[in-house]
């Protein structure tokens, strides 16, 4: 029997711009016969999904009016039911805390945390009606404590907590919540990221090349899981009758596990400072310490000469 839009399983995915994880998920769900609402801030970036047969609509998860419009659209199209909501939209902003632009930092949280909460609230009547599933795409960055990544890793850590809260609170209504710890996956994340060039007045200017090198590891786009492979595996897990609470998927996750395990083992000896040992060197903080100390010694010498 051919499924009509009212009997078809439906999914809405945020952040489906071409070449990313959302795009691959939209294509995967579509290939499995779902009614797919593929969304993005910029419709031009999801035109190919319309050509494929998906419903497309503009959606900025940080904009209440945009969310409300999406709810109205899906309600009208699908009789007030939504089976899956995939909160995928995200962005990276990398800089040191002293150089941070608060509005850019806030934007990361607005997208990854407040946006997820706003989407969940707005679509909850449709999801409850369907006894549906919410999937929040988090990141393995929550396992690493490194310089320059506080906005992204912080937002993903907050999201992980929010996912757990959502899972507990939505269970009585028959809605499942799945949190994904996403490893490295081919996408546009790192080309899209906000990586402001450092001002010469920054205290970190002397080590800008080390920060830039460490923020662009060569493995990022090479030899990592393709977005289509990620989408195929995740969709299979999400469409099982018994939904997992957590999904760990993507390349390099073993590094995260190993480092967390080592940090846990080393906890009694060096505690959380284990992470300082791991990331201080590559991110140039040790080199900066050397530079600062040298400058202080020179200033001291100058001072003595003057006396
Ligand atoms: N790829 C990885 O290695 C990796 C690892 C860990 C976690 N993740 C997570 O996976 C998710 C998907 O990212 P990706 O890797 O596929 O990167 P991507 O290709 O850059 O896709 C991110 C998507 O989010 C959209 N977006 C950003 N801000 C938005 C907003 N305010 N409202 C709606 N959409 C917004 C982007 O839209 P524009 O095109 O308009 O910018 C884009 O469509 C993210 O949440 C990311 O944190 C990815």
pLDDT at 5 over 60: no
Looking at the CA of residue 42, tell me the nearest atom of ligand 1. Answer: 40
User: DSSP string of 160-197?
Assistant: HHHHHHHHHHHGGGT-EEEEEEE-BBSSSHHHHSB-PP
b/e per residue, 61-96, with b = 16+ CB within 10 A?
bbeeebbeebbebbbebbeebbbbbbbbbbbbbbbb
Identify the band that residue 143 occupies on the pLDDT scale cut at 50, 70 and 90. Answer: confident
The residue nearest atom 23 of ligand 1, judged by CA position, is 15
**Alpha carbon 209 to chain centroid, angstroms:** 26
User: What spacing in Å lies between the alpha carbon of 90 and ligand 1's midpoint?
Assistant: 4
* pLDDT computed for residue 7 by the predictor: 63
pLDDT at 269 over 70: no
- Contacts for 75-79: CB closer than 8 Å, 24+ residues apart: 75/126, 77/5, 77/35, 77/37, 78/5, 78/6, 78/10, 78/35, 78/126, 79/5, 79/6
Average pLDDT, the chain: 91
* pLDDT computed for residue 217 by the predictor: 60
Residue range 11-27: average pLDDT?
98
Q: Which of 43-47, 139-143, 253-257, 279-283 is modeled with the greatest confidence?
A: 43-47
The residue extents of the domains of the chain are 10-265
* pLDDT computed for residue 18 by the predictor: 98
Which run of H or of E encompasses 40? strand 35-40
Give the residues surrounding ligand 1 with Cβ less than 6 Å away: 14-17, 19-22, 40-42, 45, 59-62, 88-91, 111, 115, 137, 139, 182, 184-185, 187-189, 192
Q: What is the pLDDT of residues 160-201, one digit of tens each?
A: 999 999 999 999 999 999 999 999 999 999 888 887 889 999
Q: What is the pLDDT of residues 90-137, one digit of tens each?
A: 999 999 999 999 999 999 999 999 999 999 999 999 999 999 999 999
The residue nearest atom 41 of ligand 1, judged by CA position, is 192
Tell me which of 249 and 279 has the higher pLDDT: 249
User: What spacing in Å lies between the alpha carbon of 15 and ligand 1's midpoint?
Assistant: 6
The residue nearest atom 7 of ligand 1, judged by CA position, is 139
Q: What is the pTM of this model?
A: 0.92
Q: Which of 20, 122, 149 to mutate to test the pocket of ligand 1 (most atoms within 8 A of CB)?
A: 20
pLDDT at 32 over 70: yes
Tell me which of 66 and 277 has the higher pLDDT: 66
Residue range 137-143: average pLDDT?
91
The residue nearest atom 3 of ligand 1, judged by CA position, is 184
* pLDDT computed for residue 169 by the predictor: 97
User: What spacing in Å lies between the alpha carbon of 207 and ligand 1's midpoint?
Assistant: 29
Comparing C-alpha atoms, which of 101, 181, 108 is closest to residue 139? 181
Which residues, listed in sequence order, are joined to residue 86 by a DSSP beta bridge? Answer: 13, 135
Residue pointed to by tokens 């320059």: 148
pLDDT at 219 over 70: no
User: What spacing in Å lies between the alpha carbon of 88 and ligand 1's midpoint?
Assistant: 6
Using an 8 Å Cβ cutoff, are 88 and 25 in contact? yes
CATH classification for the domain delimited by 10-265, as one of 3.90.950.20, 3.40.50.720, 3.30.70.20, 3.30.590.20: 3.40.50.720
Using an 8 Å Cβ cutoff, are 245 and 181 in contact? no
Tell me which of 280 and 248 has the higher pLDDT: 248
Which residues, listed in sequence order, are joined to residue 93 by a DSSP beta bridge? Answer: 194
SS3 131: coil
Using an 8 Å Cβ cutoff, are 36 and 22 in contact? no
Q: Among 23-32, 46-55, 121-130, 146-155, which is the least confidently predicted range?
A: 146-155
Looking at the CA of residue 193, tell me the nearest atom of ligand 1. Answer: 20
User: DSSP string of 62-97?
Assistant: T-HHHHHHHHHHHHHHHTT--SEEEE-----B---G
pLDDT at 291 over 60: yes
* pLDDT computed for residue 220 by the predictor: 58
* pLDDT computed for residue 6 by the predictor: 55
């Amino acid at each position: 029997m051919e499924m009509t839009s009212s009997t078809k399983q439906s999914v809405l995915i945020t952040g489906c711009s071409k070449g990313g994880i959302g795009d691959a998920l939209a294509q995967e769900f579509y290939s499995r016969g779902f009614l797919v609402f593929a969304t993005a801030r910029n419709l031009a970036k999801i035109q190919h999904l319309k050509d494929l047969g998906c419903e497309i609509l503009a959606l900025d998860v940080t904009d209440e009016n945009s969310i409300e419009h999406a709810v109205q659209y899906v309600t009208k199209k699908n009789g007030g039911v939504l089976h899956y909501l995939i909160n995928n939209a995200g962005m990276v902003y990398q800089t040191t805390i002293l150089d941070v632009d608060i509005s850019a930092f806030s934007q990361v949280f607005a997208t990854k945390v407040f946006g997820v909460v706003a989407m969940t609230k707005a679509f909850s009547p449709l999801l409850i009606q369907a006894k549906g599933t919410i999937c929040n795409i988090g990141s393995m960055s929550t396992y690493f404590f490194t310089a320059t990544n506080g906005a992204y890793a912080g937002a993903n850590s907050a999201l992980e907590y929010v996912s757990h809260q959502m899972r507990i609170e939505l269970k009585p209504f028959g809605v499942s919540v799945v949190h994904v710890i996403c490893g490295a996956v081919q996408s546009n994340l790192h080309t899209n990221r906000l990586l402001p060039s450092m001002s010469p007045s920054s205290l970190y200017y002397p080590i800008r090349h080390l920060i830039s090198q460490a923020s662009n590891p060569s493995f990022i786009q090479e030899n990592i899981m393709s977005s289509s492979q990620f989408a195929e595996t995740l969709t299979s897990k999400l469409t099982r009758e018994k939904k997992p609470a957590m999904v760990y998927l993507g390349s390099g996750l073993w590094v995260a596990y190993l480092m967390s395990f080592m940090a846990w083992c080393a906890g009694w000896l060096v505690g959380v400072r284990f992470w300082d040992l791991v990331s201080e060197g590559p991110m140039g903080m040790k080199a900066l310490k050397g530079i600062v100390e040298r400058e202080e010694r020179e200033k001291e010498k100058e001072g003595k000469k003057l006396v």
